[in-house]
Amino acid sequence: MTAIRGGTATPVAPPLPRPDGPVSAALLAALAGGGPLAPGAVGDAASQHPYGRDAQLALYVLYELHYRSFADLPGDREWDPDLLRLRRVLEDGFLAALRRDVPGGRSAADAFAGLLTESTDHRGSVAHHLEHDGDLAQVREYAALRSLYHLKEADPHAWVIPRLRGRAKAAMVAIEYDEFGAGRAENVHARLFADLMADLGLDTAYGRYLEQAPAEALAPVTVMSLFGLHRSLRGALVGHFGCVEVTSSPGSRRLAAAMRRTGAGPAAERFYDEHVEADAVHEQVVRRDVIGGLLADEPHLEPDVAFGADATVFLEERLAGHLLGRWRTGRSALRAPR
């Protein structure tokens, strides 16, 4: 098959990244060499900081085995029991840290109340910064880091579909159908993002910017797969999805303005313009029917729905702190190439 640049049609899986600590080193050695995981890796995983880049990179790579995987890997590593054991230890650490760092026991209404109003304090807002102050270089960095999610946009959320029923399932599938272009490949949101990247002169190859991503940019992506791949976390996945949809429309309006101001290009403007309109709809449907439907069926999941939303806010704030801290001091937010 031929690699086609300029769209997510690129069939070539990305190369394995470089390791960034003992856990990712052991994992990547096992993947690249086709051999077993080194015996100490699971123990190392338990002692790594769950938000640190070694643990986050290892989780990212382990999850990616369930999506498009990496070049030259046998397909069955996805279900390698040793790798799943490592993943479980990393996930337990990540979940425990998130449960420690976000408010617990909240109602879904409490978790969403703050998201459904617009703050007049914009100091912590990346979208506001890019709308008013960011330059084209910062817009390009933002797109490069977000590409780790947007080139598989809505994929992590598809895992939840068989775990829903009735109203929640019908509504979730309707939103996902919209995300996946409503039957038209050229309108798949991941494809619209690849078009945005092409406008910005970025490489649209899947996973291309993993090496440049700091830990803060990996965690908002790994958390989606964490919630998506565990049936027991279906409430958190739905809460996460609701949070993203609710906050997207106003953020996308600012980012569309940033694209226009920096002259990013028509496809870049279109990506965010489309999300202003689409996510104003998705927000209503996800709150009324996906969250409402799930909680009508399984009311005991309400604290998980709130947790999913709160964890998303927490990880997005960490990323915003990193981006704004770098940009406001005139530095790049990307990891330096080695």
Partner 1 sequence: MPNGAERPTRVVVTPDGPILVEGPVEVVGADGSVHRSDRFVVALCACRRSRTAPWCDTSHRARRRPARPGPAARDEGGDPA
Residues of the shown chain interacting with partner 1 in the complex, contacts defined by CB under 8 A: 114-128, 146, 149-150, 153-154, 157, 174, 177-179, 182, 189, 241, 243-255, 271-273, 275-285, 288, 313, 316-317, 320-321
Tell me how far, at minimum, the Cβ of 218 lies from partner 1, in Å: 14
Tell me how far, at minimum, the Cβ of 244 lies from partner 1, in Å: 4
Q: Which residues contact 114 (CB under 8 A, 6 or more apart)?
A: none
Which of 158, 169, 198 lies closest to 5, judged by CA?
A: 198
Which residue number, 136 or 174, has a Cβ lying nearer to partner 1?
174
Tell me how far, at minimum, the Cβ of 219 lies from partner 1, in Å: 13
Which residue number, 62 or 219, has a Cβ lying nearer to partner 1?
219
For residues 164-201, b (16+ Cβ closer than 10 Å) or e, as one string?
beebbbebbebbbebbbeeeeeeebbbbbbbbbbbbbe
Tell me how far, at minimum, the Cβ of 7 lies from partner 1, in Å: 19
Which of 309, 283, 305, 246 lies closest to 171, judged by CA?
A: 283
Tell me how far, at minimum, the Cβ of 249 lies from partner 1, in Å: 4
Q: State the sign of the Cα–Cα–Cα–Cα dihedral 59, 62, 66, 67.
A: positive
Answer for the pair 86, 62: CB distance below 8 angstroms, yes or no. Answer: yes
Which of 115, 150, 168, 189 lies closest to 285, judged by CA?
A: 168
Which residue number, 29 or 125, has a Cβ lying nearer to partner 1?
125
Q: How far is CA 254 from CA 130, 132, 234, 314, in A?
A: 8, 9, 31, 21
Which residue number, 149 or 159, has a Cβ lying nearer to partner 1?
149
Tell me how far, at minimum, the Cβ of 175 lies from partner 1, in Å: 8
Which residue number, 76 or 121, has a Cβ lying nearer to partner 1?
121
Which residue number, 16 or 130, has a Cβ lying nearer to partner 1?
130
**Helix ranges, 151-209 (H):** 155-158, 166-179, 189-199
